[in-house]
Structure 1
Amino acid sequence: MPNWCYSRIKFTGDYKAVRKLYNFIAEQFDIPFEREPMHFDKNTFLGTFLDRAGLDSERFRCRGQITDWPGPPEPCDDDSGNCEIVIYTETAWCPMIAMWLAIIKKISPNVQLFYASEECGMGIYQSNDPDYVDNYVVDTWIGSRETIPAEVRGTIFGEEFFEDEISEDRLRDELLKAFPDGSDDSTADLIARLDDLDFGDDNGTSVHKWEYYSASEQD
């Protein structure tokens, strides 16, 4: 049973190029594939996209599925003329980006790909997206408020919270609320102090910095 890696994949480019890729992706949602027990639904299975693009699904990692389909692209209002669509995928163990690069090359070569992938069990917090790189993902879960450490009460670490584009400045502001004597500490040291707190068995918090990986480095 794999751990599941969650990815946000953004395709950008001029309207015609993105629209062509969107049509290819969206078409699959309505194709009446035969359903097979114990396999992914073929409408969402990533390997089906490779097959439809005329690519060999045996050559790419594709054990996963789309979990959220894109809405149609709209031309941007800025001078770039670019637009974007976003999909979300769930894949076994790791990001599976190479297959999308191959599909882009085959279907609409002028599209660019930006992604952010998280799989906490494997320690994966990887992205090539400027909106994510150098920012942090913060995830706090609360099952028993009685055991929340006093230090974090009144901070984002003392309540149910999830955000994946936390700037370092904002993160430090919250950490220094918990550790007001830590103004000379590095952000990494403050996170280590947070990790050392006892949240009890029913609570927890996870703070990780996004690590830059180019799309071409991913399988």
Structure 2
Amino acid sequence: MTEPQVTVGIMFEPKIEFKLNGLFICNNLKIEGPQTVNFCNGKIEWMGDLFEELLFEPEDRQNDSFELIGVTIGINFHWERKENQTFRGSLKFIVENEKITAINIIEVEEYLTSVISSEMSATASLELLKAHAVISRSWLMAQIQKNRDISNSQKIYSTVHDTPRELIKWYDREDHIRFDICADDHCQRYQGITRASTEIVKDAIAQTRG
């Protein structure tokens, strides 16, 4: 069975520096090492050319990784700061709001391993980690399904339900249209393989899978 994937928005900047640790394929080219993309005239400038979007696919998905330089974490919190973060999976760049958005395309179970290691202590008890895994996976799959429903719907999606008797507003979807979720606390804290995981986290993911 094909492993479900999630698209995660990592960072949003007019210029993004990154490093490909291993061979990645983009536009039929094999690329590795330090790279830079810039926002230019509504498109992505890379290696002297302009693109609507770019997709870097690893040759070895299990071992290759990429590093994003200066990722902002804790957005709008008092501890907001920048750090370099490393990820597995594919790297996609798109243009949004006069900036470039870096998106990580990753398998759901690997995503969850990072989330649990980032949001909790990776040495917490197995039962606590299992509970977190169930909650995180359930929320994630609901977001993925909602994103698909919105994409397939002929109706314009609205976060407001307004009738003469009630007014309801949802706050979980309006910020992310072209990817499933973001990597910061607005959704779930995801930092790729930057934070060390443990065998007990992997056990919690495996035992709650399904």
TM-score (norm 1): 0.31
TM-score (norm 2): 0.32
Q: Which has the higher helix share?
A: 1
